[in-house]
Structure 1
Amino acid sequence: MMSPSSMLSSHLHLPLHSSSSCSRLTTTFFPCFSPIRLATNKTNVMSLSLLSSIRASSSSSAHEISSCLPLPENRVVLGCGAACIDYLATVDSYPNPDDKIRSTSLKIQGGGNAGNALTCAARLGLNPRLISKVADDAQGKGILEELEADGVDTSFFVVSKEGNSPFTYVIVDKETKTRTCIHTPLDPPMMPNELPQSSLLSALESARLVYFDGRLYETALVIGKEATRRNIPILVDAEKKREGLDDLLNLANYVVCSARFPQEWTEAPSIPSALVSMLLRLPNVKFVIVTLGEDGCMMLERSINTSPQLEEMDVDSLLNLLKQSIDGNTVIPTCVSSKVHPIALKRKMFKT
């Protein structure tokens, strides 16, 4: 039996952004929330939310969205990770080996998960600072100029006199609506000793949140430990398994991950059970979100305590019931809420 007490849970509204590549956001999606609360043991409760994407008009912008959202007085967000240049070539269909084809369009714009996330934060009215590294080359100058034009503070960047800035060739397939990224990493890579203690403390000053994308992990780990010491929440963007990512996840309060990551990391049989496994393995994490492309995203949130009179259900079964309650014909953002259920976890099915 679970000890009865008030359940702590919130419904988080997150605007989703998508484009034809991994570069700066261009098309806005709005989520529909469908919360399910999951009980994993006598004291912990988890709330699962299914967020279905609805495409907004092409004229919508992050600035228009932020105009209807209340902003906190202190809006500083610190990020550390990749910022690069993307060369986006759109093709009618992906080439076969040894093919020569023509692109239908070519765009050159900023990319990198940290660069994208902090650009989004700036467009939503926050005050982002980014710690990263570029070389003193044309790509590096372009990266800094674009970020600064969007309102991202780049004063904590390291600029190397030698080497190359990171860049990515992105092949956008119109037929399958997919993109293939060929990345050339930063050289030489950023090392922790390139971020002086004085700069680290200055970057963290007044920060309300610290964001990591899993890159530059040695530097990110130094920042993360200091942020933890200062009780600054940490959000980790887990795209795929990377060296050092587990160390960052152990410091995280929030995790946002790609569709493949939860099951690859936990070896769970389904995404819902993988999210449960992640919260069991990462006791400091308050919620984990998995992005699902056109299907929106799914969030599992940790809460504390629930009523003992609730019927227990399997997490995958409950998710299927939730999907049946969503109106696929709706054209406006809506919230479809489930009943509250404790969840029976089949621990033998996945790693914990």
Structure 2
Amino acid sequence: MTNHGLFVGLVTLDFIYLAESAPQNNQKLVATDYTVAAGGPATNAAVAFSYLGNQSTVLGVVGSHPMTQLIRSDLEKYQVAIADLDSTINTPPPVSSIIVTQSTGERAVISINAVKTQAGDKSIPTDILHDIDIVLIDGHQMRVGYIIAQMAKARNIPLVIDGGSWKPGFEQILPLVDYAVCSANFYPPNCSSGEEVFAYLQNFGIPHIAITHGEQPIEYLSCGQRGTVVVPTITPVDTLGAGDIFHGAFCHYILQSLFPTPHFPEALEKASQIAANACKLFGTRRWMDVE
């Protein structure tokens, strides 16, 4: 049985460069490699979910600018469908420029994200949740995400949030969430430590919460049980998109074990293995091309 996931949020065009370092002021660098791909947390998660044998749909703003053809062709290659929240917009899509440091795999990113392309709830397709088995929301289309979260809850569809960083409006969605999978940079209001983040999220009644820490163990709280998951030890070439890929893989693995009992730590562990493999190669796609 093929599962179908809906990934709600940011769709960008990513220009990714591999270089010795990020440039200093007034410095010109020649990259040793580059690639162009569709990007954004929800988008990269959808690609990973599709690659693992599922059907993926991205719900975000793409539009009709000529540059969006690069986004469409990339997602078509990886069999990700697009549900466009504003197909008539003809301004350039959000563009991210990323420099990956060759020696460490660390990345520097500049982007405008979805700040100028926020969609309203009237643009949501009426049948968007038809045959959907899991929903992920990255918070970049917060109004749309809130409506989708309510719809998913009413249909008992598992809801995952990608908590890369805190975004205003998440507090409305959190009471509806089944799986909050957050980065160490996710700090809700008045939170300054992991313990405070766990307590904050637990107060919303979220049954499964995880905080990732890069190469360090993942902390989790699942139905009141605390624990950690050790992630694979690798030498990273590129950490760009690792969290996004992790979320897409998590959606895949949590559905494999959803019935009769969720196996939250196991899904986290398997997803971390996929994300680690992705970090061994440059860019957000090449890990799939060599598997």
TM-score (norm 2): 0.71
* Alignment of 1:267 onto 2:191: yes
- Structure showing the higher helix proportion among its residues: 2
Report what 1:223 is aligned to.
148
User: Deviation of residue 245 (structure 1)?
Assistant: 1.8
Contact 1:129 1:203 in 2 (8 A): no
CA gap of 1:327–1:91, structure 2 versus 1, over 3 A, is closer
CA distance in 2, matches of 1:327, 1:105: 26
Report what 1:126 is aligned to.
54
CA distance in 2, matches of 1:100, 1:213: 34
Match for 1:172 among 97, 100, 103?
A: 100
Report what 2:175 is aligned to.
250
Contact 2:19 2:30 in 1 (8 A): yes
User: Deviation of residue 113 (structure 1)?
Assistant: 0.4
- The amino acid of 1:292's aligned partner reads H
User: Deviation of residue 175 (structure 1)?
Assistant: 3.9
Q: Secondary structure of 2:47's match?
A: helix
CA gap of 1:209–1:281, structure 2 versus 1, over 3 A, is same
Higher mean C-alpha displacement, 294-303 vs 113-122: 294-303
User: Deviation of residue 260 (structure 1)?
Assistant: 1.9
CA distance in 1, matches of 2:152, 2:25: 47
- The amino acid of 2:215's aligned partner reads E
Report what 1:297 is aligned to.
218
CA distance in 1, matches of 2:83, 2:22: 39
- The amino acid of 1:99's aligned partner reads Q
Report what 1:282 is aligned to.
204
Report what 2:120 is aligned to.
191
Contact 2:134 2:159 in 1 (8 A): yes
Q: Secondary structure of 1:93's match?
A: coil
Contact 1:133 1:160 in 2 (8 A): no
Contact 2:178 2:207 in 1 (8 A): yes
Q: What is the RMSD computed on CA atoms of the aligned residues?
A: 2.9
CA gap of 1:116–1:327, structure 2 versus 1, over 3 A, is closer
Q: Secondary structure of 2:128's match?
A: helix
| Fraction of identical pairs, as percent | 21
Give unmatched runs, 5+ long, in structure 1: 1-72, 305-314, 330-336, 338-352
User: Deviation of residue 124 (structure 1)?
Assistant: 0.8
Max Rg structure = 1
Between 1 and 2, higher relative CO (CA 8 Å, sep ≥ 6) is seen in 1
- The amino acid of 1:226's aligned partner reads M
Contact 1:275 1:288 in 2 (8 A): no
TM-score (norm 1): 0.60
Report what 2:257 is aligned to.
none
Q: After superposition, what is the alpha-carbon deviation per residue over 1:227-275, rounded to whole angstroms, capped at 9, x for unaligned?
A: 112222210101111121222222211111112215x656254x3x245
1:114-153 equivalences under 5 Å are 114-153=42-81
Give unmatched runs, 5+ long, in structure 2: 235-264, 266-291
Instruction: State how many pairs are aligned.
Output: 234
CA distance in 1, matches of 2:168, 2:60: 17
